[in-house]
Amino acid sequence: MMDKNIEKKIITSGKYEDVIEIKDHYYLISKKQQVVVMPYIIDAKGLLDKIGVIKDYNYVFEKYDYTLLNDYINQDDGTNLVAANRILYNAIKINIKDATEWMYLGNLYNTLTSDSPISLYCVNLTDVEIPKFESSEMKKESIDFKMVNSSIVITSDDTLLLASYLRLFNYFYVNSLQKD
């Protein structure tokens, strides 16, 4: 909770976030809660093999980079998990209704001033046939989804991708220790 004596000034207001100024610093404050989805595949040894990512444009660095599926929670979404499944379906036309295939990885906050969590979910697509999209289908409004080797994730600069992967990796690591 922010100290009530600290003066904050709204610089601009948008549909999804506000830009505020506090003590000569600018912050983005989300108006809607976000959900991030990390699809994954495990190999025959039970290790993380592939991670589902999208290529999205970074307007600051003016280049494309990998990140995770993400969107805001809608009023029609009954729960965060329903929102996560909607995000997955809208991106790659896969509907995973079995809740045991999903795992909640916790929340992240993108700044210390944020009061809007980003909910992290992952979904096991090991035994699911992932549709192939033709490049001719790829239009501006569609996404560039692919399953990449999990070793690529560690080289990413995207905090959502790294945090989600490390939390999932930790889950697999702790479970492997408990089996011994």
Per residue in 81-130, pLDDT tens?
999 999 999 999 999 999 999 999 999 887 666 677 899 999 999 999 98
How far apart are alpha carbons 50 and 39 in whole angstroms? Answer: 8
Q: What CATH number does residue 168 fall under? A: 3.90.79.10
pLDDT at 138 over 50: no
* 24 and 102 belong to one structural domain: no
**What is the Cα–Cα distance from 91 to 54, expressed in whole angstroms?**
9
**Band (136; pLDDT cuts 50, 70, 90):** very low
Q: What is the pLDDT of residues 72-82, one digit of tens each?
A: 999 899 899 99
Shared-domain flag, residues 27 and 51 = no
Residues 27 and 52 in one domain: no
Question: What are phi and psi for residue 20, nearest 5 degrees?
Answer: -120, 160
Domain that residue 55 falls in: 32-179
Residue 140 has pLDDT above 60, yes or no: no
> Looking at the structure, do residues 12 and 36 belong to the same domain, yes or no?
no
Q: Is residue 141 pLDDT above 60, yes or no?
A: no
On whether both 150 and 161 belong to a single domain, the answer is yes
**Distance between CA atoms of residues 152 and 143, nearest Å:** 19
CB 61 within 8 A of CB 157: no
Query: Same domain, yes or no, for 124 and 56?
Result: yes
Helix (H) or strand (E) holding 13: strand 8-13
Q: Which of 64-68, 73-77, 85-89, 161-165 has the highest mean pLDDT?
A: 85-89
Q: Are residues 10 and 66 in the same domain?
A: no
Structural domains of the chain, count = 2
Question: Residues 170, 142: one domain?
Answer: yes
If asked whether residues 20 and 66 sit together in one domain, one would say no
Are both 138 and 157 inside the same structural domain? yes
Question: Between the CA atoms of 93, 125, 36 and 131, what dihedral angle is there, to the nearest 10 degrees?
Answer: -30
3-state helix, strand, coil split of the chain in percent (to 5) is 25, 35, 40
**Same-domain status, 20 and 59:** no
Q: Does one domain contain both 53 and 80? A: yes
How does DSSP classify residue 70?
E
pLDDT surpasses 90 at 157 = no
